[in-house]
Chains A and B, each alone.
Chain A
Amino acid sequence: MLTLTINDKRHRIDVDPATPLLWVIRDHLGMTGTKFGCGAALCGCCTVHVEGSPIRSCVTPVMLVAGKRITTIEGLRSAAGHAVQQAWIAEEVPQCGYCQSGQIMSATALLAQTPHPSDEQIDAAMAGNLCRCGTYQRIRAAIHRAAATLGRA
């Protein structure tokens, strides 16, 4: 049995400890906002926060994060998270939307670390999140918008 703390809620789970966190979140706990895209940390769809840092849950064995503070898109309640989501709405970022949970988790972590990122810092932080609909330009605009909102708060 493993104990996971996800979105401030504790879960006791009976699972093979090598199972990737992604599938525990999706299949065992039924939270489907975090997506499966590649299974190899190449696309960023599965990005969640562990102790506030973005990680790829598709390659993270669940045993490595037992007892740590995990946040998924469903539990994104920080000021930065809210600002990012609002900016995503204002800039009309999503198209198909499949990658956007991961994009938002990466962007939120970036802003927590770097409140006013340059384009180069955005490139570096977001390079691991693929979007086949090509929403990158609007993502960039939305991150700048969220940074401006947070700066005013």
Chain B
Amino acid sequence: MAVATNLSRREFFRAGAAASGGLLVAFYLPLAEASQAGTSFAPNAFIRLRRDGSITLIVGRSEMGQGVLTSLPMLLADEMDADWKRVRVEQAPALPAYANPLMHINLTGGSNSVRGSWIELRQAGAVARTMLIGAAAQRWKVKASDCDARSSYVIGPRHQRLSYGALAMAAASQPVPSKVTLKSPEEFSLIGRPIARVDTPIKVNGRAVFGIDVKLPGMMHAAVARSPVFGGKVKSFDPAPAKAVAGVREVVQISTGVAVVAEHFWAAKQGRDALRVEWDQGALGDLDSGEIERMLSEAGDKPAVVAQRIGDAQRAQASAAKTIEAIYRLPYLAHATMEPMNCTADVRPDRCDVYAPTQGQTPALREAMRITGLPAEKVNVTTTYLGGGFGRRGMVDYVVEAVEVSKALGRPAKVIWTREDDMRHDAYRPVNYSRLAGGLDRNGNIVAWQHRIAAPSLLQDLQGHRPPHDLDKYAVEGAVDLPYAIPNQQIEYALVAPGIPVHFWRSVGHSYTAFVVESFVDELAAAAGKDPYEFRLKLVEGARRYRNVLMVAADKAGWGKPLPTGVGRGIALHNSFGSYVAEVAEVSIEGKGEVRVRRVVAAVDCGTIVNPNTIEAQVQSAIVYGLSAALMGEITIRHGGVVQHNFDDYPVLRMPQMPKVEVYPVAGGPPMGGIGEVGVPPIAPAVGNAIFALSGKRVRNLPIRPKDLA
């Protein structure tokens, strides 16, 4: 049975909203199409149907590996009943018509691409289908309600058939419906099936164009010298040694440092390395990790801003039969996308073209407008493929550099960061200090839970000032919304501002709160003398979706069944971005205390499943990303700058360390959750808990160090 939806009104820049009276989808005719009017049917910003039956579907989110270039067109094509084989996809320009419906700007993040566009894109597809059916019905002189559509054909009541291509022009003159009927799940033809990614073929033959691959006629290459101390500024520089390098053309000062411009990148880098810059170090020249640790523990050891209070945790703690306390510490982390930051810009007096592997088209557009003084319609932001994002590419510092360099040169310029630049001038996952206290009653039930988090604030960095009441929702997410029915809870936050830049990092606050919460729940289970799985299961009684994933993960992992000698098993449960995930890790500890993760079983409930293939891939990916951090990831600070510089001192998981990962989707029904980040949070605690089960050693600091376990 089909579901009718009422459509609400939304305004669009350059969009002919008057045409519809209120669909969610934008009615913007892409410029390229406008010039070929009469050759295609473009009912809205997302769909172009040509007379030959070929269909172009346009994707407003950035493709950074998470599969949106496939999953979003699936939403359009399913409701449109388009022949998937005739579909090609295109990355959208940075126009408001393609804004993220949940954020109202063009930005990819928050694991919300599919759930955020779930209604909008399906409506867009249904609009096209309705207009095509309307055109066919008119031609056949039958009622539209007696027609159906399938695989790019409209089928009439007497089994007449007309192809979408043949109907394209007639459909274009149909009235745009103000209301459409969306399919019910059993009517889906693409949604829910493991559809092959559309970008695989060009990613196995080297033809996919990433930001770093952009080529423009007359383009120069640039490498930038940036302050080794965060917040430092150029005092003076001597361009002569750089200019002495063959191929170097110019040396220009920009807002982030000094750019060396050359005919080829290697010359630019050689020139950059030869350049002599005097830096004004600013305020942070003496800052190191030890000092940051002191700031965190000082703030975390005294009362702070209350983020959540349920019951009276202090009183419950005082009267508990058994109490435990613990301190957890997590480090700064770099994003370390495989493709280092880069951007290409072409600034001219009357226009600016930006080609960027970015998650943040609107921030890129705004920065380009600010730097060039050009209005929005004179600035084009083209999104290339992204060689990883993980939150890093929501920032646009690399765009600022390319636009400034191109503006200074008056010709196209590509700025490429080396790996060292990327590692040392990232904005990092915040460092974290958590102090916990828990109380159990005589029967081993948790009666008191106190959690104080001392950490830098992402909001402070994003907004340029401390958040209201010094409370940052990102710092406490995953801590204030526990899966467990604990009657007395107090969660506090102490904002610490050491000055090291911080930013969203795959799963954001959950990346540390899940480790702390799920490890400490395990500590309480041990203190109560209970099995950690049974302990959790009882705590989520009545919470269906938590319970389901916990049970599926435990069942598939064979929880309770004997393991080989020297292997331990741990479990963790977490909710982030609207999805419920339980993971079980099996680990062993090798010779000198090295942790080997042998197998991970994940059960994931992200609500409605659009592409099961993507879900498996994203959860595998998240587990690897989280394992890299848990086992090896640490950024440390010395003299106000980052110590690590490349993959030798910031190691990440390699093939020989890859565990066997099994992913089990659990269809929990609506509302829909995210998928890109949700597998990260539970992996570190699952591993830590497995280490405890195996060795009796409790992991409270990340990364897990062999010397702590040897």
Using CB atoms and an 8 Å cutoff, list the residues of chain A in contact with chain B.
16, 19-20, 23, 26-28, 30-40, 42-43, 45, 72-74, 76, 85, 88-89, 92-101, 104, 122-124, 126-140
Contact = CB atoms under 8 A, between A and B. Distances in A.
A17 to B, nearest CB: 12
Interface residues of B, number: 63
A96 B339 contact: yes
8 contacts: A37-B419, A74-B206, A76-B205, A96-B63, A100-B203, A127-B654, A134-B653, A138-B620
B199 interface: yes
B623 A134 contact: yes
A36 B648 contact: no
Q: Is the interface of A mostly helix, strand, loop or mixed?
A: loop
Interface string B628-657: 100000000000000000111000111110
Contacts, number: 177
Given A35-B212, A85-B205, A96-B387, A16 B221 contact: no
Contacts of B280: none
A35 B200 contact: no
A16 B247 CA distance: 10
A73 B654 contact: no
B617 interface: yes
B212 A32 contact: yes
Contacts of B264: 19, 23, 27-28
A133 B621 contact: yes
Contact of A89 (B64, B201, B613): B201
B31 interface: no
B339 A137 contact: no
Nearest to B414: A27
A96 B418 CA distance: 19
A16 B624 CA distance: 40
A92 B196 contact: yes
Given A33-B207, A74-B206, A133-B338, 4 more contacts: A28-B264, A31-B206, A32-B212, A130-B647
A47 to B, nearest CB: 12
B64 A96 contact: yes
Contacts of A134: 620-625, 653, 658
A126 B65 contact: no
Interface string B388-406: 1110000000000000000
Given A85-B204, A94-B204, A127 B655 contact: yes
B549 to A, nearest CB: 20
B209 to A, nearest CB: 7
User: 10 tightest A-B contacts by CB?
Assistant: A33-B206, A134-B624, A98-B387, A96-B65, A97-B203, A95-B65, A73-B206, A32-B213, A94-B203, A136-B658
Interface string B590-624: 00000000000000000000000100010011111
A122 B655 contact: yes
B338 A88 contact: no
